[in-house]
Each structure stands twice: as C-alpha cells, then as structure tokens.
C-alpha cells in the first residue's frame, strides 16, 4: 500500500473528483452539525401586526335557517376595532309571545354572535341600519346583548337567560328609515340575540339588518413603520411613562421552521430590543412563549427553555436577547406560534416606549 500524500496548502480541482473508496476520516453527520454555527432567518416584523379580519360566528339556531344569512367580521386598525354584522332573517321564526327569542323554529343556540373584550374591544358606539323591511314574521324586533348563555332557544323567553340587556328597541323596522339608528345602550360582553317584541309567530320571508359596533382595543405591541429613509419598522409599546404599574403588551405571529433546518437540532429566537426616548425608572422586560402548531387547530408547548431575565430590555442602546427553544419535536416546515410580551413599569419618566427592532429565528441547517 502506498504511503498517503499530504498536501500542505488548499487543493483546488477545476473538474470532477472520482474515487474508488470513501473519504477518510468519515465524519458523522452530527459531528458536522456540531461544528456549524446557527443560521439566522429574519422574520418580517409586519407578521406581528394586529390588523386583520376575524369572523363573528352565529349559533346553529341562526345559521341553519333556510335562506338565512348571518355573516360578520371584526377588523382592527391601531387601537380601534370595528365589528360589522349583516343579517338576512329569511327562514327564521318570530316568537308566539312578546319577549321570545327569534331563530330557526324549535332550535337552540339562536344567538347572532358573541362579544368579548379581547375580540371586539370596549364598545364605545354602535348603530343598526334596516336594509330591507321585515316581512312574514313580526317586524317589531329588539336586539339584546350581555347574555351569558349561548343556548337560547327559539320561542323561549329571553328573560329565562342570564344578564340580558336590550341595546335597541326601535319598534317596527322599515327600510324606509334611511338613516342608521344609534343604539339605545352599548352592548357588553356576552351573546347577542334578536327578540320578538310584537308577539306574532311566523316565518320571515324578508328582513335585512346591518349592525355596526366600534370599540377601543386593549393596548398592545404595534407595528410602527416610521418615516421612510429615517426610521426602520419596529414593534412598539404605547407610551408607558408614569404608568405607575407594570403594564403588559403583546404581539403574536406564526413563524415557519425553514426547510434547511436539521430536525431536532438547536433553535433560538433572537430579539433586538431596547427603549425609545428614555429608559423606564423601574423595569422593562421582554419575554416570549412558543407553541408548535399540531395542524389540527391545537398546539404543543410552551417550547421556550430560557427564563426571561428581569429588566432585560431597559436600555436605550438596543441589544440582542436570546430565547432557546426545546427542539426535540421540531422538523422542517413546522409552524411556531410565537407570542412576544413586553412589560414596562415606570413611575416618573415623561416618555418611554419599549421597542423590538428585529426578530430572528436561528437554527442548525443541513
């Protein structure tokens, strides 16, 4: 056997290399990965925006009506939330007595949607427009909210439920009323129902309404674009100066695990964080939670293995904060449901805002 030849410098081969035997020494795959640095994949901060639409879902006692339409959306822009609900009453039945719930005959779950502070905000204004005059069933329709139960049954008294409050009692509705009718009371948290205020039991062949609600949102981390060519986009809290208590602000996004990732190997989420204008005189802390989507509307986690250090972002000079993710179950293509929480406590500062300048997913790649 010939002695091996040692090459003291780099070997550059312009063509192909052919060998009858394997290369030596043989390097195990995990040994190669152990030598590789984490590869960074930057996540667009726009992914963490809260703006967007969410559906309002009625109960089956409404949605199963023949020809009935009850479709809505909840849209958010900044700190304002608008809830819109279109109702076509065709196929629903009014009650035999005044105060009975309207829905598909004899069915339960006759609510037209569920209001919550998280989804709809704190309602500050609302109005209803009659787009088509109700026909067939009773035209005298009241709208109720703050009901605890979702199970209200057609032709049963609304008074048999808990917490019911009427927010519009207009009398007979007509499309001839051209202007929207302002609500007589603001709807609160809970299920909404339509109630027969005339006491005539019959099936509606017509009747359309548009319900519009405006609410104020709980402050959160918001995507701020800033001035082009001067500011880069970032996630920011509201002004926390002199809030006199720790207030928390969140943002959430799905981050895909890149196809280059080696299953089960190291994963870290790195945030570049700091304070704008001034530091908080108490504390400013950033933390994250990470769950893996199971692709069946459920998730697994929390996968974060790093405990957030108190006051870890309270500096006007931005710095990286790393959160190690438990990688045991992770594979390329997985979706990570990531929620960032910034908590700021300040007693005396005039203006201070927590900010996240970038989010990166770092992982071992193949």
Question: Which letter does DSSP use for residue 312 in this model?
Answer: T
**pLDDT for 18 beyond 90:** no
Q: What is the pLDDT of residue 90?
A: 98
How far CA 203 is from CA of 90, 92, 99, 135, in Å, comes to: 8, 6, 16, 8
Closest CA to 168 of 111, 206, 211, 214: 211
Encode pLDDT of 62-106 as tens digits: 999 999 999 999 998 777 999 999 999 999 999 999 999 999 999
More confident residue, 161 or 36: 161
**pLDDT for 49 beyond 70:** no
**pLDDT for 34 beyond 70:** no
CA atoms within 13 A on the CB side of 140: 13
Arithmetic mean of pLDDT, 352-361:
96
**CA–CA distance, 65 with 86 (Å, rounded to integer):** 15
Angle, CA 49 vertex, CA 43 and CA 55 arms, to 5°? 125
Q: What is the pLDDT of residue 27?
A: 54
Q: What is the pLDDT of residue 233?
A: 94
Cβ–Cβ < 8 Å for 143, 123: no
Indicate the pLDDT class of residue 118, thresholds 50, 70 and 90.
confident
What is this structure's pTM?
0.71
Encode pLDDT of 187-246 as tens digits: 999 999 999 999 889 999 999 999 999 999 888 898 999 899 999 999 999 999 999 988
**CA–CA distance, 239 with 351 (Å, rounded to integer):** 6
Which segments of 57-187 does DSSP mark as H helices, in order? 60-63, 117-120
Cβ–Cβ < 8 Å for 108, 152: yes
Can you say whether the dihedral through the CA atoms of 214, 218, 221, 226 is positive or negative?
positive
Angle, CA 135 vertex, CA 200 and CA 115 arms, to 5°? 80
**pLDDT for 167 beyond 90:** yes
Can you say whether the dihedral through the CA atoms of 271, 274, 280, 281 is positive or negative?
positive
Cβ–Cβ < 8 Å for 147, 115: no
Q: What is the pLDDT of residue 193?
A: 98
What are the tokens at 123? 């309602």
């Amino acid at each position: 056997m010939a002695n091996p030849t040692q090459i003291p410098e780099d070997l550059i081969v312009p063509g192909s290399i052919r060998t009858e035997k394997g290369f030596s020494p043989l390097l195990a795959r995990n040994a190669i990965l152990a030598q590789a640095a984490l590869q960074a994949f930057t996540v667009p901060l726009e992914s963490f925006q809260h703006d967007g639409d969410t559906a309002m879902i009625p109960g089956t006692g409404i949605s199963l009506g023949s020809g009935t339409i009850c479709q809505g959306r909840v849209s958010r822009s900044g700190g304002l939330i608008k809830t819109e609900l279109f109702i076509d009453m065709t196929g629903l039945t009014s009650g035999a007595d005044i105060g009975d719930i309207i829905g598909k005959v004899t069915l339960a779950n006759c609510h037209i949607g569920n209001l919550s502070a998280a989804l709809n905000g704190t309602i500050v204004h609302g109005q209803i427009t009659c787009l088509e005059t109700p026909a067939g069933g009773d035209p005298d329709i009241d709208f109720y909210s703050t009901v605890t139960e979702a199970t209200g049954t057609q032709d049963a008294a609304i008074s048999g439920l808990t917490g019911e409050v009427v927010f519009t009692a207009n009398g007979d509705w007509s499309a001839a009323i051209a202007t929207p009718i302002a609500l007589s009371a603001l709807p609160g948290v809970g299920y909404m129902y339509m109630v027969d205020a005339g006491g005539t039991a019959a099936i509606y062949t017509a009747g359309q309404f548009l319900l519009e609600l405006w609410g104020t949102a709980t402050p959160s981390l918001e995507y701020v674009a800033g001035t082009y060519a001067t500011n880069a986009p970032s996630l920011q809290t509201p002004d926390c100066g002199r809030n006199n208590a720790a207030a928390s602000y969140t943002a959430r996004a799905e981050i895909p695990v890149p196809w280059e990732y080696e299953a089960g190997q190291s994963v870290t989420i790195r945030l570049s964080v700091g304070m704008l204008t001034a530091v908080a005189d108490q504390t400013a802390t950033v933390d994250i939670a990470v769950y893996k989507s199971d692709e069946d509307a459920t998730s697994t986690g929390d996968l974060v293995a790093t405990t957030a250090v108190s006051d870890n972002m309270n500096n006007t000079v931005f710095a990286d904060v790393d959160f190690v993710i438990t990688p045991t179950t992770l594979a390329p293509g997985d979706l990570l449901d990531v929620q960032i929480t910034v908590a700021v406590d300040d007693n005396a500062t005039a203006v201070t805002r927590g900010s996240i300048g970038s989010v990166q997913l770092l992982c071992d790649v193949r």
